[in-house]
Structure 1
Amino acid sequence: MQKKLEIRVIREEIFKILFEHELIFESDTLKRVDDFIIENEKVLNKSKEDFLKNYIKAYIENENKVIDIIKENLEGWTFERLGAVERVLLKMSFYEIKIKNEAFEIAINEAVELSKIYGDEKTKKFINGILAALVKGN
């Protein structure tokens, strides 16, 4: 019997899909979600499938609003100057904190953990600093 996918694996896949969305103009993000669901149908339960679909859909619907919020909170940086990994991690975190109103501790922890995998040695500190300032300012 195959083990069910953990939520951290789902979040990592969300990051990968959104990273592709960030880099490839007109990428078919929703098709990527469907492909992942089909590939993992035996280990993906309905609640995690719904989490993945709803997250991606709502993120895309709110992406411009999230970018505006990030731009308002960046000090000493421009949004356009950020690397793709940092942009995606910040957009995910700001979306979760400011749009979904999720607990900031979870959003920050997930972003930091993903930054350790996909960023360079400075990414973790950078992401943590911006998100800490966001939380402190609100």
Structure 2
Amino acid sequence: MTSLRRKARIAALQTLYEIDCTEHKAEDAVIHSTTEQSLSQEAISFTEKLVQGVLKNKSKIDEVIGRFAPSFPVAQMSVIDRNILRVAIFEILMDNTPVKVAINEAIELAKIFGSDSSPRLINGVLGSIVTKYGKASHKRPKEGKWQPSLKN
């Protein structure tokens, strides 16, 4: 059985994919993806939180991706991989999701929706981010304590 939060992450990924590939508004894309899955109000709220968080912080998140995946420019990355990373990085840096959970969920989404190499890419990028900032304990940093600099 798929958890409520995994369903919400799937809907968020589908929403972000739709936004990346079309000119649809975020609100319309959220309605489309959450209606297709018949999500509960709690799952819809979590989906909206993820989508809004990613969109609000997209440029910062994309800079982090670019720093930790220099061989894979964000614009040239597959839409799926790019948005899986965006959701996971948002959850790690700005949400209350434990780091280990965010990474595991991102890898599972990559296995379901990505290519054969997607899980390895996702794990590598997220693992590098966590290692760089000393969060190998997989616990979320205290608010305001972990704001990664985009400089070396």
TM above 0.5, one fold? yes
Distance 1:20 1:135 in 2: 28
Q: Distance in 2 between matches of 1:113 and 1:37?
A: 19
Identity %: 24
Partner of 1:51, secondary structure, is: helix
State whether structure 2 residue 112 is matched by structure 1 residue 114: no
2: CA distance, partners of 1:52 / 1:35:
12
Map 1:1-138 onto structure 2 (within 5 A).
6-24=4-22, 26-37=23-34, 44=40, 46-100=41-95, 102-138=97-133
User: What TM-score results when the alignment is normalised by the length of structure 2?
Assistant: 0.75
In structure 2, relative to structure 1, the CA distance for the partners of 1:109 and 1:49 (3 Å cut) is: same
State whether residues 74 and 82 of structure 2, in contact with CA within 8 Å, keep that contact through their aligned partners in structure 1.
yes
- State the secondary structure of the residue aligned to 1:87: helix
Structure 2 CA distance for aligned equivalents of residues 51 and 77 of structure 1 = 29
Q: Distance in 2 between matches of 1:98 and 1:83?
A: 22
> Deviations for 1:43-87, whole angstroms, at most 9, x for unmatched residues?
51x332321222222221111121122112223332223111111
Matches of 1:35 and 1:126 in 2, distance apart?
28
